[in-house]
Amino acid sequence: MATTQQMLDAYPGDLGIDQTLLAACIDACLDCAQACTACADACLSEEMVDQLRSCIRTDLDCADICAVTGRVLSRHTGYDANLTRAVLEACRTACRSCGDECAQHAEMHDHCRICADACRACEQACADLLTSLG
């Protein structure tokens, strides 16, 4: 069992949210943040770095937003549904933008393909959790 699910199971109160979707979303956010950070770093190592400026910026923005979203979703005391919806929407938007940008370079750079896949998975996990919130 993943640490995220173990921590949710150990929470002393009722989360009032689908724990399976929540755990999947937290894990997808943290995975995407790592993939985006690594992709930006790999882009900086490419010979044609000047053609990857937008990709690097989008990667770094997405990494930051995903990391924050994962942290916000990991806190439950004083839960604010409106804030949760807002960060999920922001994360979904960042992942869509980054996924689209990386997809443009995916045939030439494996790191962009991997990152685009992580972005798509995170975008979907955010959408699934948002749907469950009603």
Residue 5 structure tokens: 């699910």
Give the helix, strand, coil percentages of the chain, each rounded to 5: 80, 0, 20
Q: Which residues contact 89 (CB under 8 A, 6 or more apart)?
A: 126, 130
Q: Do 96 and 123 touch, CB atoms closer than 8 A?
A: yes
Residue with tokens 């992709």: 39
From first CA to last CA, the distance across the chain in angstroms is 27
pLDDT band at 1 (very low <50, low <70, confident <90, very high): low
pTM: 0.95
Q: Which domains does the chain have, with CATH numbers?
A: 18-133 (1.20.1270.360)
Is there a contact between 66 and 40 (Cβ–Cβ < 8 Å)?
A: no
- In whole angstroms, what is the distance from residue 91 CA to residue 113 CA? 19
- The tens digit of pLDDT for each residue in 57-104 reads 999 999 999 999 999 999 988 888 899 999 999 999 999 999 999 999
